[in-house]
Chain A
C-alpha cells in the first residue's frame, strides 16, 4: 500500500519534471508574447526601454482605429496589404490543392514504375529553404531570366516581372474595354471606396510581381500536400475501386464519384492548412520583394514586421498582428462551416478513414507545419 502511494508520488513528481521544460519554453515564447503584445497594441510604446515601464501610456483602441478608422497612410497601407494577400490566397489555395491532388492521383497508379523517383522530385522543394528557393526564382523570373527566355522561344516578350506593379484584373478589364489598363479606371469605381482604397484599387487583382511569388509558393507547397493526399489514397481499400470498375465506371468517373468523395477529410485538412498558411506569407515577401513594387506585394505579416522593426510603430505592428490573427480565425471558421459534412453515412466512412491514418496523418500534419513555417 505504502509502496504504491510512493510510486504514485514518484510518478507525479517525474511527470511534472518531464513536462516542465516544454511547458516553460512554450509558455515563455508562445503564450507570454501574446499577452505582452496585446498590451503593446493598446499602448504608445515607441521601442525604447521596456514596454512594461511606467513611461508607457495606455491609448486604448487608438492603434486599431488608425488601421480601420479614419483615413491615413497606415490605413491605406493596411488595406493594400489585405487586398494583396486576399488575391494571393484566392489563387494559391485552390491551385496548390488541385496540383497536389493531381500529383497524388498520378503517383497512385500502381501499374506505373519508378514512382518513388517522381515522388521524391515533387517533394524535394518542400524540404529546402525559402531563401534558397527565393534566390532561384529571382533568377528564373529576372528581366533577362529563364522564364522570359522561354517565352521568347514562343514569340512572347515577357514583362520585367519583379518591377511590374500592374494588377492582373486591371489588365484583363482593360483588354475588354473597362478602364484604361492599369492607368485609370471608370469614374464609378475610382470615386468611391472602402478603407482608403477606391473600388478600382480593390479590383486590381494580384500584380505581375505577386504572380511570381504565387507561382513559387504553389510549386513548393504542392509537394507537402501531395504527400497527405497520397497517404489517404493508399488507405482506400483496393476493393472500392475494383467494385466501381466492375460497375463499368471509367477512370474519370471513378476518380470523380468514388476517389474524391473518399478523400473529403484530407481535402478538408489540406484546404484548412492552406488557408491558414497563405494568410501568413512572410518569408517569400521578405526575400523576394519587401512589399515592392508600389506596395503590390505588401502583406499583413510583412507590414506588421516592417511597421514595428523598421518604422518603430510598435503599437501599429502588434495591432496588425492581432487583426491578422482574427482574419485567420474567421477564415478557418467560415471554411469549416462551408465544408461541414451534411450526410451522415459518408461522414462515418470518412471518420473511419481518418482514424485509420494513425501516426501517418500526424506526421503529414507535422510536415505541413514545417512547410508552413517555411512559408
Chain B
C-alpha cells in the first residue's frame, strides 16, 4: 500500500516516461492467463447484457401475442401466432389522446427549460449584478429538496393558484430546473470572453449578444439539456398525478399506469399493457440511440478531458 502511494506521486510529473515506457519495463504478461481473463470478461458482459436486454425482448414479443399465448409461454418471446390486436385495441381507447398530451407537455416543458435555464445560466456565469451569489446559492439549495416530499405541497400551491386540472398546472411547475441552470452556467464559463467583447464593440445589447453570439456556441450544452428535459418530462409521473384529475389531461404515464391497475388491470391482458409500454418507450428510445454519444459519451468525455 505504501508503495502504491509513493507511485502515485508521478501523477502529473513531466519526468515520467509515459505509459509506453512503463509497459516495456513490465514483465511480459502470461498469454494464456490473459486469454482466460478475456473470455471471462466477455462471458460476464454477455450474461449481464442478457439480463438487461431480455426483458425488452419479452416486452416487444409479448405485445404481438394473443392473451392465452402470453400466459401459456411467458419465456418464449416469439408469438405462436403473430397479431397486432393489442395495438389496435389501444387506439380504440384513449391512447392517441394520452400520446398527444405527452407530446404537448414534453415539447413545451423542454422548450421552456432550454430557454429559461440558459438565460439564468448566462446571467450567473457572466453578468455582474448584486445578489448574484445569493441567487446561485438559493438555486443550489433547491436541488437538495427531495422531490417526492414536495408532491402534496405542490398540489396545494397548484390548487391555490387556480391552475389545477389545466395544461398550465401540468407545464409551468416543470419549466425550470436547477440542475439545467448549472449545466448551462458551467458551459458558459468555458466560452472565451473575447467572443462577447467583439459583439459588444459592434454595439450589440446584452440580450442580442446572448442570443446571437453566445447561444449558438453553446449548442453542445443546449442539446444535452434538451434531451434530458424531454426525457424527464416524457417520463414524469407523480407531478401529473397531483396537477390534474380530468381524463382528458391524461399523459401516457398516468394513462398507462391506470391501464395497469385500473378496471382493465383486473384481467391479465398482458399484450395490451406491454404494447402500451412499447409505444411509450419508442420516442425516448429513438432519442437515446440517436444521441447516446451525447448522453453517455458526453459525460465521460467531459470527465476524461478534465
Contact = CB atoms under 8 A, between A and B. Distances in A.
- Which of A139, A145, A148, A282 has the most B CB atoms < 10 Å from its CB? A139
Given A103-B48, A132-B281, A139 B155 contact: no
A154 interface: no
B147 A345 contact: no
B235 A374 contact: yes
B165 interface: no
Interface residues of B, number: 129
A357 B8 contact: no
8 contacts: A134-B260, A240-B8, A247-B7, A280-B146, A280-B149, A283-B238, A286-B241, A309-B242
B56 A130 contact: no
Contact of B129 (A16, A359, A360, A372): A16
Interface of B: 1, 3-5, 7-8, 10-11, 16, 19, 22-23, 25-26, 34, 37-38, 41-42, 44-45, 48-49, 51-53, 55-56, 58-59, 62, 70-75, 116-117, 119-120, 122-124, 127-132, 135, 138-139, 142-143, 145-157, 159-161, 172-173, 175-176, 178-183, 186-187, 205-207, 210, 224, 228, 231-232, 234-238, 241-242, 252-253, 256-257, 260-261, 268, 270, 273-274, 276-278, 280-281, 284-285, 288-289, 292, 295-296, 298-306
Nearest to B117: A22
A45 to B, nearest CB: 9
Contacts of B181: 22
A73 to B, nearest CB: 19
Interface string A100-123: 000100110101100111111111
A interface majority secondary structure? helix
B123 A130 contact: no
Given A37-B153, A290-B261, 4 more contacts: A132-B277, A243-B22, A276-B146, A364-B303
Interface of A: 8, 10-12, 14-16, 18-19, 21-23, 25-26, 28-34, 36-37, 40, 50-52, 103, 106-107, 109, 111-112, 115-125, 127-140, 142, 144-146, 148-150, 219, 223, 227, 230-232, 234-235, 237-240, 242-247, 249, 251, 257-258, 276, 279-280, 282-283, 286-288, 290, 301, 304-305, 308-309, 314, 317-318, 321-322, 324-325, 328, 345, 349, 352, 356-367, 369-370, 372-374
A33 B260 CA distance: 30
A131 B138 CA distance: 32
A309 B302 contact: no
Contacts of B270: 139, 142
Contacts of B7: 239-240, 243-244, 247
Nearest to B54: A146
Contacts of B132: 15
Given A31-B142, A136-B56, A239-B19, A124 B302 contact: no
Contacts of B241: 286, 305, 309
Given A10-B206, A119-B296, A283-B238, A358 B256 contact: no
